[in-house]
Structure 1
Amino acid sequence: MRLEFLRSWKVITGLALLAFFALLALFGPWFVRHVLGIDPLANDISAIAQPPSGAHLLGTNQFGQDVLGQVIEGTRASMSVGLLAATIGTALAVLVGVPAGYFGGRIDTALNFVTNLFLVMPVLPLILIVAGYLRGTGLWVIALVIGVFGWSGAARTLRAQALSVSSRDFVRAMRMVGERSHRLIFFEVLPHLTGLIASMFLHAMIGAVLAEAGLAFLGISDASVVSWGTMIQSAQDQSAVLRGLWWWFVPPGLCIALIGTAASLVNFGMDELANPKLRAARSTTVRRARRLQRTARLNGGEAS
């Protein structure tokens, strides 16, 4: 299964893109300042709203700041928000959904009540209200708010899957021989849910990056920190679309789209691995099947 997973071009492409942005988030700011010699926050009044050129590969914005430096600098902030919010949301979904499906009874009723409570809440207005009250506190609080209010749907799915796995014969047999519940959850139930949990994590990461960009676009973010969302918000405030300054807002938007594409490709590859019906036939298999069909037709014609 691991070999099949790594042979998929979707998985390889998605993991390569995610690894690229991860490295960019880790080493990008150092690379911009010490290798390229660019200060993303420095204002160059001699190059205001300049298109891409040799001096500025992605041009400059209305304030004379280098767009390439800001895109690379903003990768760390946006990726940090996405990873932290996805980690918080996925952890809450696992801690609530899996025990609810495994234990059932009163525990299921209590945890399911909490899940339904968060599920019926209007998440986006709540995030806007809470983030608005906490304005200026930094991207970490934004990530915390997104993660806390975005786990209920995943918990409901995990509850259903944990309920299905815990009712199988091997789990019942281990219960009968006296195996402890926490060991059954961690070593028997959770391993059957790893693919689903990984898919939920990637989906939550995409949602968190988009949510941060949306909050920044609405002006609810830390303006002192450069992120893809604050770049788009700044371009909107300065009417970059109407003025034709495409190099200001297209690069951060393209980075967000690439993050979503990478996570979706990995998710599609995982789905194909888990469900053989979704696996795409390889070209060699298709050619072999066509040769067999032609051979069968020829043999049938000769026999007739």
Structure 2
Amino acid sequence: MSTPITTATTEAVKPARTSRRSRSGLLHGLMTNRKAMIGAVILIVFILLALLAPVLFPGNPSRITALASQEPSAEHWLGTTAKGQDVLALTLHGTRMSLFVGLVAGVMSTIIGILVGLTSAYFGRAIDETLSVVTNIFLLIPGLPLLVILAAFMPPGVGTVIFVLIITGWAGSARVLRSQALSIRSKDFVAASQVTGDRAGWIMWREMLPNMASVVMGTLLGCIIGAIGAQAGLEFLGLGDTSTVSWGTNLYWAGNEGALLTGSWWVFLPSGLCIALVAFALSLFNYAVDEVTNPRLRTVKKRSATAPLARTENAV
């Protein structure tokens, strides 16, 4: 009876080493991937701007600094709002709040998705059925109406926005991660860990989760993108805390002050462009993760790269 346990133990060690190699391979692949590098550079620029915002524009960014509705100039690079506020100061300080809310809501949604997905896949039966029903309920409820209702009936504030985004964002990640965890649950190294007496939490944390690294990263990036967009949408509708400065509240005040009607494009364009650029950078990084971890995408890329050479050789 000792021989099977020894073999199982050996098999249990191999996936751990394989997962470490896969994580190092994922990191190396992302560092050599052009899409990942472009996305990382854009994100680093926004993070630096968010950190330097209090240094570049100390004090209250909403204070009146000049005449109202001035076009971009040497004094105010992005012009001023209808109240006379500096648009560049509002945009840079808004970066801090938008990135913070998006990151916190995205990380928390992913963590809840991991817990629900792993628990449902590992224990199965009644626990899986119960968690699947709860997940399906949240998936069936329309996201935008639920966001609006929750935000409208809760006190305004950053905490409320983050809570609403987490409540409406975890179910999708839980469904994706449960599907991946189910395929890993049936592997031999999971059964070997059970034979050796490892606890369920240890098996899920040390054996199953490391083999889901690429899926978890893709889910996290998707949750952050969704959180940033949803926050901007809520605040644009006036359901957030309009006393704070973020990209969403900048768009809200631009709409209320008639920037679109007066043609003051410099008031609403910077915040909208920042949201688009961050979403673009995260999407590039997400696609790079798929490209590095998916052999089919790598095969297609290699084929497209060798196709011109093949046509040249045939022509000769």
TM over 0.5: yes
Q: Could you tell me which of 42, 47, 57 is aligned with 2:63?
A: 42
The alpha-carbon deviation at position 143 of structure 1 amounts to 1.0
Q: Which amino acid aligns with 2:215?
A: L
- Between the aligned partners of 1:8 and 1:266, the Cα distance in structure 2 is 9
Equivalences for residues 240-255 of structure 1 within 5 A: 240-255=259-274
Aligned to 2:236: 217
Following the alignment from structure 1 to structure 2, what is the Cα–Cα distance between the partners of residues 199 and 60?
38
Gaps of 5+ in 1: 299-304
In the alignment, which residue of structure 2 is the partner of 1:302? none
**Worse overlay, 169-178 or 55-64:** 169-178
Q: What's the offset of the Cα at 1:127?
A: 1.7
The separation in 1 between residues aligned to 2:303 and 2:63, in whole angstroms, is 52
1:135–1:220 Cα contact (<8 Å) kept: no
Deviation, structure 1 residue 297: 7.2
Matched, 1:145 2:170: no
Deviation per CA, 1:155-196, whole angstroms, max 9, x where unpaired?
Answer: 111111101001012222332333322221111110111111
Please state if 1:75 is matched with 2:98. no
- Structure 1 Cα separation of the partners of residues 63 and 303 of structure 2: 52
Per the alignment, residue 28 of structure 1 pairs with: 53
Superposition RMSD on alpha carbons, in Å? 2.2
Partner of 2:18: none
One-letter amino acid of the structure 1 residue matched with residue 190 of structure 2: V
2:257 maps to 238
Residue 22 of structure 1 deviates from its aligned partner by 2.0
Distance 2:97 2:312 in 1: 55
**Distance (Å, rounded) in 1 between the aligned partners of 2:101 and 2:208:** 29
Q: Give the structure 2 partner of residue 123 of structure 1.
A: 143
Deviations 1:126-165 (A, max 9, x none): 22112112243x1122111111221111111111110100
In the alignment, the residues of structure 1 paired with residue 54 and residue 134 of structure 2 have an alpha-carbon distance, to the nearest angstrom, of 41
| Identical-pair percentage | 40
Query: How far did residue 4 of structure 1 move?
Result: 2.0
Contact 1:88 1:148 in 2 (8 A): no
Alignment counterpart, residue 228 of structure 1, candidates 247, 250, 266: 247
Match of 1:98 among 107, 118, 143: 118
Letter in 2 for 1:13: I
| Distance apart, 1:60 and its partner CA | 0.4
- Do structure 1's residue 189 and structure 2's residue 208 form an aligned pair? yes
Determine the structure 2 residue equivalent to 1:14: 39
Structure 1 runs of 4+ with >3 Å offset = 280-287
Q: Structure 2: which 5+ runs fail to align? A: 1-24
Structure 1 segment 59-74 matched on structure 2, within 5 A: 59-74=79-94
User: Which amino acid counterpart does residue 150 of structure 2 have in structure 1?
Assistant: V
* C-alpha displacement of 1:286: 3.5
Q: How does 1:282-297 map to 2 (within 5 A)?
A: 286=306, 290=309, 294=313
Corresponding residue number in structure 2 for 1:58: 78
Which of these residues, 186, 199, 205, is aligned with residue 167 of structure 1? 186
* Offset, 1:92: 1.0
For residue 291 of structure 1, report the CA deviation from its aligned partner: 7.3
Count how many residue pairs are aligned between Structure 1 and Structure 2. 290
